[in-house]
Every structure is written in structure tokens, then in C-alpha cells.
């Protein structure tokens, strides 16, 4: 990787910030993982680059140089165009923040890249919250933080009609009578999150609580800014959050 | 090459300007100090006076010398239509190419969910409060056609949904990634007059 005549790779900009006098610093996500790229002249307002290196725009990219900051060599649009609007756009910002916070640079993630791309198209098509939960499950699994969703913490198969207490380090354990548990969840919801069955009534709420707790744990407790914005925005109309 | 400390300070100060790197800063400093000391004095006075005299308009948040900017204090402007833009430069661009007779609201940026720029930083509560006063009949959202501009537009339309005002958004024709300030006036004029309902 890293020569101007390298073939173009598919990619997305996760985030961009001004860099030096007229450049942009891009965090991009490609099948080779996340990397930092300097787009020289990318802040020239009439620059062709500035117009297309935006989040959620499917791109072809190549870069030169190695190490922590490479230089964007070539970029072009990768049709078809992906047009996110409204609430889906805020969900997509949340997903970008998750990727920025949870992935490391230069850690190849071809599977996760495909899932990310799939999720964006699902959001364009009006995906429901459950799609986002399934993406979060895949994201955690691909990064080595996978949830235990097919058996309990002692290796016994999960029973859809049982309730469990999800322990962040051990996984789900059958709920014991009076013992307090901060994170209860049904076997049915756990199995649905694993992709074995469609979500039942109430699964979305349970699944959201579980994933929020697990992600919070892996983020070291530092809150997600996009979630805060999302909350401010939608709290006045619904009580769903993201 | 080493510069005297005062020159170094000047170079550092000049580099705060957008698009000015070390070389341009040096060129500017040498020009002012060697060839045009009178111009340099005028520049420093103008800068100081502008800093002391220019603040933000209480109503629209555009740059203004008085409490109200010339547009807000002009009684012939139509207070029933408010156009929401990201920057003072956008006000200039729209004034020059659209013949718009209403008022503006300048956000001073856009929502940037990952950078922690939220509704408070953009003064959106003040916008909502102004619309809630009841005079405003239409809010034209003219944020830039970037993903952040789109997110900002959506947020504002949700925020004002219950206000009863008509909410419109500039029509397409402004290219993806373009910034209003740099869109040619024909395109901007078409986008402005072809605006459509958000809801
Ligand atoms: Zn004003």
C-alpha cells in the first residue's frame, strides 16, 4: 500500500477537519481499515476534492506514503450516489463516531467495511432501529468484543423463554430469583440479536439497553457526542432516542 | 534566517489568517515593514477599530456595528420571512443574487455531531424563540449542501415543526459539497426561487 499507481480502493470519509493552511485531515474507512489521510488543497472552496470528500459519499481512493498520516493521491466518486437525509443522517453520524472511537488505524477490516456499506444503504432505504442493533453486534464481533449470544456464560444453550442477566465480562447467566441485575434480557432477544430469529415485541428496547451498556464499557465510559445531539433532537418528539 | 522577536510575532499573527502559510506571512510582513508602513498603520488601526466596533446583531447574529444590523433595522424588510444561513458571507451572496427582502438568521456554522458543535453553539433556541413570537410566516433554510448542512436543516425543521411557520429549503442545483458563498449567482438565484417545502 502506498504508491500513486496503486489501484483505487473503495472507501468512505468518517470525519474531516481543517489541517494546516488549506488542507483537510480525513479519517477514512476502507477494507484496509481506518487511516488518516491529508487532502492537500482540500479546503480550497472551489476545489473538486472539497466537494466530494464528505462523510457517507462512496469514494474510490488512493494514497501515498506510510505511517500514521498518508497523503490522498486520488479520489473519485464511486457510483451509485448514496443520499442520506433526515433522521437517518444522524444515525449515520453516530455510526461514524462509533467506528472512529472503537477501531484502530491500519487494522484491516474487510468484513466490517462491507457491513458498514450495507448499513448505509439500509439507512437510505429507511431501516429500522433493529438494523442498527445488528450492525452494532457485528461491529463488536469484528473488533474482538463479541457478545455471547448463542449460549450462556456457562456454555449451555440459550432458552428463548428464559430471562438472563447479562454480565459484561461473562455473558448471559440465568436470572437468579432475588439477585439484583442491572442488565436483564430475554433469551429470545439474545437469539434474535444473533440473527437466528426476527425480533419480538419489546426486543428493540432490551437490545438497545444491552448494546448501549456494552459499547459504553468499551468506550471507557467517555460519552458519544453524536448520541447527545441525537437525544437533544428527538427527545422533544419521541422518547425513542437512537 | 532569524528574525527579530517583533517580526516573529507579526509572522505568527499573520499566519492566523486563512490560507496564509509561513511564506505568505513573510511576504506580507516584509511588504508592510519595508514598502508600505503607512498602509500597515492603516491596517492596524482598521483592525483595532473593527474589533472594538463590530459585534453581532442581537436579532440575526450577523456582524453588526449597532445592536441591530442594517437589515434588521430596515423597516422595509419583510419580518415575515427569515432565511437561515451558516455565515455572514452567505448573507452577502444572497443579497447580491436574489433580491430577497426578508430578514436573516446567521448560525455561525453548522451542526457537527462528532466535534461537539450542537444547537446551543448555533443559537438555535434563539431562532425558535423568534419564530414562536408569531410574526414569522416562512423560514427558508439555506444551509450549505454538505452533509452537515443537511443535518442542520433537518434539525431546524424538526425544531420549528410545531411553530406553524412554513419551512422551506433551497432547491437542488447547488452542487454537493458546494458552499453558498461560492455558488455562481445564477445558480443561487434559481435555487432560492425554486425552494420547496420541507414538510
Ligand atoms: Zn440583524
**What pLDDT sits at residue A23?**
87
- What CATH code would you report for B5-53? 1.10.8.420
β-strand partners of A173: A165
Structure confidence at residue A96 (pLDDT): 97
* DSSP calls for B78-135: EEEEEEEESSHHHHHHHHHHH---EEEEE-SS--BGGGTB-TTTTTHHHHHHHHHTS-
Q: Distance between CA atoms of A33 and A44, rounded to whole angstroms?
A: 27
User: For residue range A48-102, what is the model confidence (pLDDT) as tens digits?
Assistant: 787 789 999 999 999 998 778 899 999 998 988 888 888 899 999 999 999 999 9
pLDDT in tens, chain B (199 residues): 689 999 999 999 999 998 788 999 999 999 999 999 999 999 999 999 999 999 999 999 999 999 999 999 999 999 999 999 999 999 999 999 888 999 999 999 999 989 989 999 999 999 999 999 999 999 999 998 888 998 999 999 999 998 999 999 886 554 455 556 666 666 677 677 767 777 5
The confidence score (pLDDT) of residue B140 equals: 96
Q: Which residues of B fall within a CB distance of 8 Å from A46?
A: 182
pLDDT at residue A136 in the model: 97
Residue A240: its pLDDT value, please? 41
Residue range(s) in chain B whose domain bears CATH number 3.40.1360.10: 77-197
Which residues of chain A neighbour B147 with C-beta distances below 8 Å? Answer: 54-57, 84, 89
* B85 in Cβ contact with B106 (< 8 Å): yes
pLDDT at position B82: 97
The whole-number pLDDT of residue A69 equals: 87
Residues in chain A with pLDDT < 70? Answer: 1-6, 44-46, 234-242
Predicted ipTM > 0.95 = no
By Cβ distance, the residue of A50, A94, A100 closest to B177 is A50
Domains with residue ranges and CATH for chain A: 9-77 (2.40.50.140), 86-239 (1.20.1440.120)
Cα–Cα nearest to A8, from A25, A28, A23 = A28
Q: Which residue intervals of chain B bear CATH 1.10.8.420?
A: 5-53
| Burial annotation A33-51 (CB, 10 A radius, 16+ → b, else e) | bbbbbbbbebbeeebebbb
Whether residues B176 and A85 touch (CB distance < 8 A) is answered with: no
- Residue contact B114–A226, C-beta within 8 A: yes
Pick B77-197's CATH classification: 3.60.21.70, 3.40.1360.10, 3.40.50.2300, 1.20.210.10: 3.40.1360.10
Answer whether A45 touches B (CB < 8 Å). yes
Amino acid at each position: 500500500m502506498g504508491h500513486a499507481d496503486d489501484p483505487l480502493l473503495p472507501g468512505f470519509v468518517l470525519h474531516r477537519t481543517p489541517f494546516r493552511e488549506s488542507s483537510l485531515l480525513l479519517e477514512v474507512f476502507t477494507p484496509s481499515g481506518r487511516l488518516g489521510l491529508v487532502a492537500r488543497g482540500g479546503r480550497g472552496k472551489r476545489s473538486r476534492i472539497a466537494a466530494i470528500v464528505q462523510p457517507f459519499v462512496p469514494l474510490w481512493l488512493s494514497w501515498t506514503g506510510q505511517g500514521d498520516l498518508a497523503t490522498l493521491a486520488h479520489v473519485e466518486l464511486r457510483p451509485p450516489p448514496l443520499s442520506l437525509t433526515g433522521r437517518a443522517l444522524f444515525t449515520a453520524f453516530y455510526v461514524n463516531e462509533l467506528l472512529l472511537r472503537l477501531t484502530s488505524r491500519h487494522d484491516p477490516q474487510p468484513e466490517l467495511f462491507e457491513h458498514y456499506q450495507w448499513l448505509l444503504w439500509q439507512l437510505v432505504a429507511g431501516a429500522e432501529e433493529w438494523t442498527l442493533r445488528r450492525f452494532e453486534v457485528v461491529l463488536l464481533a469484528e473488533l474482538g468484543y463479541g457478545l455471547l449470544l448463542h449460549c450462556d456464560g456457562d456454555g449451555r444453550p440459550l432458552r428463548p423463554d428464559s430471562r438472563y442477566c447479562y454480565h459484561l465480562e461473562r455473558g448471559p447467566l440465568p436470572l437468579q430469583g432475588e439477585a439484583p441485575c442491572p442488565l436483564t434480557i430475554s433469551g429470545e432477544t439474545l437469539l434474535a440479536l444473533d440473527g437466528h430469529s426476527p425480533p419480538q415485541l419489546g426486543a428493540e428496547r432490551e437490545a438497545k439497553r444491552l448494546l448501549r451498556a456494552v459499547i459504553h464499557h468499551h468506550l471507557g465510559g467517555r460519552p458519544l457526542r453524536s448520541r447527545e445531539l441525537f437525544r437533544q433532537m428527538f427527545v422533544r418528539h419521541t422518547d425513542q432516542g437512537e | 534566517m532569524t528574525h527579530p522577536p517583533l517580526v516573529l510575532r507579526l509572522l505568527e499573527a499573520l499566519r492566523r489568517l486563512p490560507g496564509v502559510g509561513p511564506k505568505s506571512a513573510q511576504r506580507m510582513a516584509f511588504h508592510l515593514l519595508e514598502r508600505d508602513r503607512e498602509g500597515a498603520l492603516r491596517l492596524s488601526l482598521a483592525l483595532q477599530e473593527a474589533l472594538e466596533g463590530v459585534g453581532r446583531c442581537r436579532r440575526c447574529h450577523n456582524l453588526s456595528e449597532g445592536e441591530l444590523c442594517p437589515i434588521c433595522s430596515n423597516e422595509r424588510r419583510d419580518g415575515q420571512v427569515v432565511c437561515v444561513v451558516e455565515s455572514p458571507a452567505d448573507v452577502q451572496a444572497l443579497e447580491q443574487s436574489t433580491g430577497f427582502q426578508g430578514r436573516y438568521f446567521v448560525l455561525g456554522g453548522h451542526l457537527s455531531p462528532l466535534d461537539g458543535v450542537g444547537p446551543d453553539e448555533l443559537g438555535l433556541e434563539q431562532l425558535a424563540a423568534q419564530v414562536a413570537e408569531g410574526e414569522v410566516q416562512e423560514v427558508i433554510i439555506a444551509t450549505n449542501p454538505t452533509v452537515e448542512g443537511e443535518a442542520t436543516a433537518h434539525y431546524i425543521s424538526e425544531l420549528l415543526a410545531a411553530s406553524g411557520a412554513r419551512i422551506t429549503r433551497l432547491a437542488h442545483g447547488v452542487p454537493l459539497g458546494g458552499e453558498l458563498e461560492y455558488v455562481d449567482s445564477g445558480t443561487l438565484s434559481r435555487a432560492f426561487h425554486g425552494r420547496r417545502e420541507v414538510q
